[in-house]
Protein backbone atom coordinates (compact mmCIF):
# COMPACT_ATOMS: atom_id res chain seq x y z
CA UNK A 1 0.00 0.00 0.00
CA UNK A 2 1.16 3.52 -0.81
CA UNK A 3 0.91 6.00 2.04
CA UNK A 4 0.58 9.29 0.20
CA UNK A 5 2.14 10.66 -2.99
CA UNK A 6 5.45 9.43 -4.32
CA UNK A 7 8.14 11.82 -2.97
CA UNK A 8 10.22 11.06 -6.07
CA UNK A 9 7.56 12.23 -8.53
CA UNK A 10 7.86 15.58 -10.28
CA UNK A 11 4.12 16.19 -10.02
CA UNK A 12 2.59 14.60 -6.89
CA UNK A 13 -0.84 14.88 -8.47
CA UNK A 14 -0.68 14.36 -12.25
CA UNK A 15 -3.94 16.27 -12.62
CA UNK A 16 -2.35 19.44 -11.18
CA UNK A 17 0.76 20.34 -13.19
CA UNK A 18 1.07 23.71 -11.41
CA UNK A 19 2.48 21.94 -8.33
CA UNK A 20 5.92 20.39 -8.55
CA UNK A 21 8.12 18.64 -5.99
CA UNK A 22 11.24 20.82 -6.21
CA UNK A 23 13.74 18.19 -5.14
CA UNK A 24 13.05 16.21 -8.28
CA UNK A 25 13.75 19.00 -10.78
CA UNK A 26 16.71 20.95 -9.39
CA UNK A 27 20.02 20.38 -11.14
CA UNK A 28 22.39 22.71 -9.30
CA UNK A 29 24.46 20.98 -6.61
CA UNK A 30 24.28 24.09 -4.43
CA UNK A 31 20.47 23.87 -4.12
CA UNK A 32 19.41 21.26 -1.56
CA UNK A 33 15.71 20.56 -1.04
CA UNK A 34 13.88 18.11 1.21
CA UNK A 35 11.16 15.68 0.17
CA UNK A 36 7.55 16.83 -0.37
CA UNK A 37 8.50 20.52 -0.65
CA UNK A 38 6.65 22.02 -3.59
CA UNK A 39 6.59 25.09 -5.79
CA UNK A 40 3.20 26.24 -7.11
CA UNK A 41 3.27 28.13 -10.41
CA UNK A 42 0.93 27.61 -13.34
CA UNK A 43 3.55 29.17 -15.61
CA UNK A 44 6.20 26.55 -14.94
CA UNK A 45 6.37 24.92 -11.55
CA UNK A 46 9.20 22.71 -12.78
CA UNK A 47 11.35 25.77 -13.52
CA UNK A 48 11.99 26.61 -9.88
CA UNK A 49 15.71 27.17 -10.45
CA UNK A 50 14.93 30.30 -12.48
CA UNK A 51 13.77 31.85 -9.22
CA UNK A 52 17.14 31.37 -7.53
CA UNK A 53 19.13 34.30 -8.89
CA UNK A 54 22.78 35.41 -8.77
CA UNK A 55 23.77 31.93 -7.68
CA UNK A 56 27.32 31.15 -8.77
CA UNK A 57 29.23 28.02 -7.82
CA UNK A 58 32.54 29.87 -7.36
CA UNK A 59 31.01 31.88 -4.50
CA UNK A 60 30.07 28.69 -2.66
CA UNK A 61 26.78 29.66 -1.03
CA UNK A 62 23.92 27.17 -0.83
CA UNK A 63 20.16 27.39 -0.82
CA UNK A 64 18.90 24.79 1.65
CA UNK A 65 15.16 24.11 1.95
CA UNK A 66 13.65 21.55 4.32
CA UNK A 67 10.79 19.09 3.91
CA UNK A 68 7.07 19.77 3.44
CA UNK A 69 7.47 23.45 2.50
CA UNK A 70 4.81 25.22 0.42
CA UNK A 71 6.25 27.90 -1.87
CA UNK A 72 3.89 30.06 -3.93
CA UNK A 73 4.52 31.54 -7.36
CA UNK A 74 6.72 34.58 -7.80
CA UNK A 75 9.32 33.54 -5.24
CA UNK A 76 12.83 34.91 -5.68
CA UNK A 77 15.81 33.76 -3.67
CA UNK A 78 18.52 36.38 -4.17
CA UNK A 79 21.90 34.79 -3.50
CA UNK A 80 25.26 36.30 -2.58
CA UNK A 81 26.33 36.80 -6.19
CA UNK A 82 24.05 39.85 -6.30
CA UNK A 83 26.22 41.74 -3.80
CA UNK A 84 28.37 44.73 -4.78
CA UNK A 85 31.38 45.97 -2.85
CA UNK A 86 30.35 48.78 -0.54
CA UNK A 87 33.59 49.97 1.05
CA UNK A 88 34.76 51.76 -2.11
CA UNK A 89 33.72 55.17 -3.46
CA UNK A 90 31.23 53.59 -5.88
CA UNK A 91 29.23 50.38 -5.81
CA UNK A 92 29.10 50.24 -9.63
CA UNK A 93 30.33 46.88 -11.02
CA UNK A 94 32.67 48.19 -13.74
CA UNK A 95 34.28 44.77 -14.19
CA UNK A 96 31.26 42.95 -15.58
CA UNK A 97 30.95 45.50 -18.43
CA UNK A 98 34.33 44.43 -19.87
CA UNK A 99 36.14 46.50 -22.51
CA UNK A 100 39.06 47.23 -20.21
CA UNK A 101 36.97 47.77 -17.08
CA UNK A 102 37.56 44.17 -15.99
CA UNK A 103 40.79 45.35 -14.32
CA UNK A 104 38.56 46.59 -11.50
CA UNK A 105 37.33 43.05 -10.70
CA UNK A 106 37.00 42.79 -6.91
CA UNK A 107 38.45 39.98 -4.86
CA UNK A 108 35.80 37.72 -3.35
CA UNK A 109 36.78 38.86 0.13
CA UNK A 110 35.91 42.44 -0.85
CA UNK A 111 32.29 41.51 -1.49
CA UNK A 112 29.65 41.13 1.24
CA UNK A 113 28.95 37.48 2.00
CA UNK A 114 25.94 36.53 4.10
CA UNK A 115 26.38 32.76 4.00
CA UNK A 116 23.87 30.09 3.06
CA UNK A 117 20.15 30.78 2.78
CA UNK A 118 18.30 28.22 4.91
CA UNK A 119 14.56 27.54 4.93
CA UNK A 120 13.35 25.12 7.59
CA UNK A 121 10.68 22.43 7.38
CA UNK A 122 6.94 22.99 7.03
CA UNK A 123 7.43 26.62 5.97
CA UNK A 124 4.70 28.37 3.97
CA UNK A 125 5.89 31.20 1.72
CA UNK A 126 3.21 33.32 0.02
CA UNK A 127 3.17 34.77 -3.48
CA UNK A 128 5.79 37.19 -4.78
CA UNK A 129 8.16 36.93 -1.83
CA UNK A 130 11.82 37.91 -2.12
CA UNK A 131 14.32 36.25 0.22
CA UNK A 132 17.66 38.02 0.54
CA UNK A 133 21.08 36.34 0.88
CA UNK A 134 21.91 34.50 4.08
CA UNK A 135 18.43 34.60 5.60
CA UNK A 136 17.31 31.75 7.87
CA UNK A 137 13.59 31.01 8.13
CA UNK A 138 12.72 28.60 10.95
CA UNK A 139 10.55 25.48 10.94
CA UNK A 140 6.82 26.10 10.73
CA UNK A 141 7.12 29.79 9.83
CA UNK A 142 4.69 31.62 7.54
CA UNK A 143 5.82 34.44 5.24
CA UNK A 144 3.08 36.74 3.96
CA UNK A 145 2.68 37.51 0.25
CA UNK A 146 4.73 40.35 -1.28
CA UNK A 147 7.27 40.35 1.55
CA UNK A 148 10.99 41.09 1.31
CA UNK A 149 12.77 38.91 3.87
CA UNK A 150 16.10 40.45 4.83
CA UNK A 151 16.36 39.15 8.42
CA UNK A 152 15.93 35.78 10.08
CA UNK A 153 12.45 34.57 11.01
CA UNK A 154 12.15 32.32 14.11
CA UNK A 155 10.36 28.96 14.03
CA UNK A 156 6.56 29.03 14.09
CA UNK A 157 6.30 32.79 13.63
CA UNK A 158 4.28 34.73 11.06
CA UNK A 159 6.16 37.53 9.31
CA UNK A 160 5.37 39.93 6.49
CA UNK A 161 6.00 43.29 4.88
CA UNK A 162 8.80 45.18 3.20
CA UNK A 163 11.04 44.98 5.07
CA UNK A 164 9.62 41.77 6.53
CA UNK A 165 8.85 41.99 10.25
CA UNK A 166 7.51 39.55 12.82
CA UNK A 167 3.73 39.81 13.10
CA UNK A 168 3.08 37.21 15.79
CA UNK A 169 3.86 33.72 17.04
CA UNK A 170 1.69 30.94 15.69
CA UNK A 171 1.58 29.11 19.02
CA UNK A 172 2.74 29.54 22.61
CA UNK A 173 6.34 28.73 23.50
CA UNK A 174 5.51 25.37 25.07
CA UNK A 175 3.79 24.09 21.94
CA UNK A 176 6.50 25.49 19.68
CA UNK A 177 9.13 23.65 21.70
CA UNK A 178 7.06 20.46 21.56
CA UNK A 179 6.69 20.69 17.78
CA UNK A 180 10.40 21.33 17.33
CA UNK A 181 11.08 18.23 19.40
CA UNK A 182 8.48 16.08 17.60
CA UNK A 183 9.82 16.96 14.11
CA UNK A 184 6.83 15.32 12.44
CA UNK A 185 8.36 15.99 9.00
CA UNK A 186 10.92 13.28 9.75
CA UNK A 187 8.28 10.65 10.44
CA UNK A 188 8.07 7.74 7.96
CA UNK A 189 5.32 7.99 5.34
CA UNK A 190 3.15 5.41 7.14
CA UNK A 191 3.20 7.34 10.42
CA UNK A 192 2.30 10.60 8.66
CA UNK A 193 -0.51 8.82 6.82
CA UNK A 194 -1.86 7.32 10.03
CA UNK A 195 -1.81 10.69 11.81
CA UNK A 196 -3.13 13.07 9.15
CA UNK A 197 -6.14 13.94 11.30
CA UNK A 198 -3.91 15.03 14.18
CA UNK A 199 -1.58 17.01 11.90
CA UNK A 200 -4.52 18.84 10.34
CA UNK A 201 -6.65 19.28 13.47
CA UNK A 202 -7.43 22.54 15.19
CA UNK A 203 -7.05 20.69 18.48
CA UNK A 204 -3.37 21.32 19.13
CA UNK A 205 -3.20 18.91 22.06
CA UNK A 206 -3.68 15.78 19.95
CA UNK A 207 -0.25 15.96 18.36
CA UNK A 208 1.42 15.61 21.77
CA UNK A 209 -0.28 12.27 22.36
CA UNK A 210 1.26 10.56 19.35
CA UNK A 211 3.98 8.05 20.13
Q: Is-catalytic flag, 54?
A: no
Instruction: Give CA–CA dist 117/71, Å, rounded.
Output: 15
Given 55, 84, 136, 157, the catalytic residue: 84
What is the number of other CB atoms lying within 10 angstroms of the CB of residue 196?
Answer: 11
**Torsion angle defined by CA atoms of residues 141, 65, 9 and 7, in that order, rounded to the nearest 10 degrees:** -70
Catalytic residues: 84
Amino acid sequence: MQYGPDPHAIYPNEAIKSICYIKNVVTRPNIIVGEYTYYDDINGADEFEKHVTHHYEFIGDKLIIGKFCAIAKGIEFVMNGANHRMQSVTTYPFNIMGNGWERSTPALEDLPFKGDTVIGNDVWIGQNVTVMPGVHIGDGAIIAANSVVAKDVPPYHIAGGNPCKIIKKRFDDDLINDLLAIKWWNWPARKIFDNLEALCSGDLTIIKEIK
